Structure 1
Amino acid sequence: MAELLAVAQGLRIAWQYGCRRIVCESDCLNVIESLRKNKSVNLHSCAILLTEVRCMLLEDWEVVFQHVLRDNNTVADLLAKLGLKEKWDLTVWDSPPPEVAQLRELG
């Protein structure tokens, strides 16, 4: 499941950058529920990845998972579209790209 893979990669990056208080938002309710409740909800095909994420959560940090409605996830949607357009492998920003700032100005 792409959503769970994105959570795992995001947590790895956050840990590497020294972030120890994380709010992880996703519009995939199954992933959020599985990680909040520590049980598998329709993710048994991703058991290895789910176990890996749960092991990461045992580290000394605070991670909060929040479900957001897809309509409220415009920044993530914009970044995904930018990534497809630019064909980035992985990009980490220290501040939001200009397109995100423009989106905030419109909102």
Structure 2
Amino acid sequence: MTRAIFATAAILLFSGAAYADDWASKFKQLDTDGNGSISRTEWEANVATLKLDPAPTFTAMDQDVNNSVDSDEWAQAEKMAKAFPVACKSSKESWCPKQY
């Protein structure tokens, strides 16, 4: 029984880490010039290739309005994207797409 609990916990831990690593790798893909932030130009040129669902808007991510998204802003966007399906499932509003 203890083994089953440990195995389940390990699977959940690693699947969460893979999801986080996925977002980290996507940040690196978008940061084409390697300067540690994503410019609006980099975002617009490459976001469609990442197939983020839901894809946050650049303006929503750029919290300090400096026309770039740094790793902290990217982490916030990741949290919002993870929370969206949960909030959407519990909503009866029209802003929620049918897929959630």
Q: TM-score, normalised by structure 2?
A: 0.28
- Which structure has the greater CA radius of gyration? 2
Q: TM-score, normalised by structure 1?
A: 0.27
More strand by share: 1
More helix by share: 2
